[in-house]
Structure 1
């Protein structure tokens, strides 16, 4: 099956339009101007309703009347099954089975069951124990940046922002070092999903599933002491907790989600600081602002522009409109993070905005039961990375003539590269 790029009516937003990746603020402003909701065409070619109001976004993400699995919508509603959703995207049925066993595609008790199996590896205490390792990886990558300089510039995404989080998550999960270049290639393809080329997605998914299966087989024969071994024990000692498909899906979810968004947060945040030089200078002179700065990056230039589709399991009235059972709603995370009722002057990048405030006001990591499992780790990596970058290269600057290009990725804010000069000249 070969998908085609869907076209949208004039009054419907086409989320596959690359305009929204290059100028997401325009998308937020358009939906907000329409009253906080607007019809849109999703990647699978079917209509959703976008919501930007902070209160609506939080309701969609946390209210039990919304589900991520359309199979959990009551019978008789006009919606499709999970299998039909993946079929519409051109994903082969044997591969889609692993996607439907994914923790991201589960509701309520199934989601809780899987989350409990891995949550202990991402507690604040466990993450704090990892900090010295994160610092050593960071320092080593920064020390080697000059070796990658060409014509006075170095690609920060390729040589720092990607290697840092993928090394950390692969260490944590237990992915061998020699396999990590494969994961970066797979990750790049998955994150740049092109609905007009489902055969590419099928190839990558097939390679990943086969590879993880082989990795699990090797571990069963020669166990180590990491998260992968713990998951294998849960599977083999009590198969009711974890199926083989869920085990494989959990591994690729942890590795892909555990590095991809953090890598692009590092480049998005660096670009934001270097294009707001007063903020760079402020952070350089006051490292105590690092926690607030990372929160502001998550709010202002977080990687995920929208959350995954939710289905109304019953009739729901939101500030932006009413939904019937089976209706598809998409929470625009950037919309909530730019809601003027929550953030004064919301389009202004201000690293002091969150300083001294307890908790997390933004929805950069989502909200509700699907709140990002690795949020504490991502925050730590961000603080270590930016603090170390400022110390190592205080005069860092964007490379002239190498303006970074946005990847036309539906629902995500990603650069293809980020060339910088290590000293200003």
Structure 2
């Protein structure tokens, strides 16, 4: 369950009907290898509801034009829908101002934007950036690259054996040298939900800024950046039932206004001569070139879709499904679940004795199941777990107990074959 503080239980939510919701996703009617499609890879990329597909089709067929530049009606209408999408994202995150919402290519792009703008101007020898053992490569590699150039220290907060962030270890590493704490809101491998409000409070107490990678978190429950208090928040559209090619960086307006641009080009300027350029204010300063116009419309439609169902109702459904999955998978002989933190989203990684993750995923595929196998772009975490890779089942609002039963049945068949 993802809440503003990530510690409080959700209020009673309306009943969510996943079977009814499944009808909104055309691809789920497909079969694979003659079997009903069981899609358990939402953590990598979610399927798209018809509302998103239709909204994007309308954007292409009714009012497609480039935005911010045209003096004709079609361009003005496209611009209106594009900026309305920004307002939709603002409301979704409870940001204070739409100017705090920057559209990017994805969450990786958003994190790199912070590294190459705020990080490049604020980090140097004697400073430190603090991340965790749970991080996706997207929140490791940009800081390593910048560290090698700027000479600051990259610190790594440990996790406990159940996959929880070790807050005592975090506290030992957090001092006045730390200028940025950059952590996942929710682990893409273990589903661990980090206490981000507490992390932010502690980071601010030593003068550090906070960047949160929310790519997994925004899918599983409501996020309130003002309640959390973070300085930056990144997420991607395609994990939130929206299109690929669009992500979001939330940044506090005062910070965005102080940051230099990263990419130069059209639409991020106020004036250009051969001698000098004056840059536009945020968010345009960080949106060089033609933006993801139709993708922004699709992302807004995805947000409207999940909010229409109710984020608390979806979260309650997924929490029930996670409990059921953990119980059923624990009954499979030789199966080890990696990540049993008490605050956990609907993501389950596991290993099966004697089975390489890729071989096991291939066998499960023959039963119509789509699961991710490998290191999940988190090789340091795999090393911490003592494995080279895992199988990951990541659930979405369209996932059901029948999907879990299909997974357990397929695992029992695979175990027999591999024995």
Same fold (TM over 0.5): no
Higher relative contact order (CA 8 A, sep 6+): 1
Q: TM-score if structure 1 supplies the norm length?
A: 0.30
Q: TM-score if structure 2 supplies the norm length?
A: 0.30
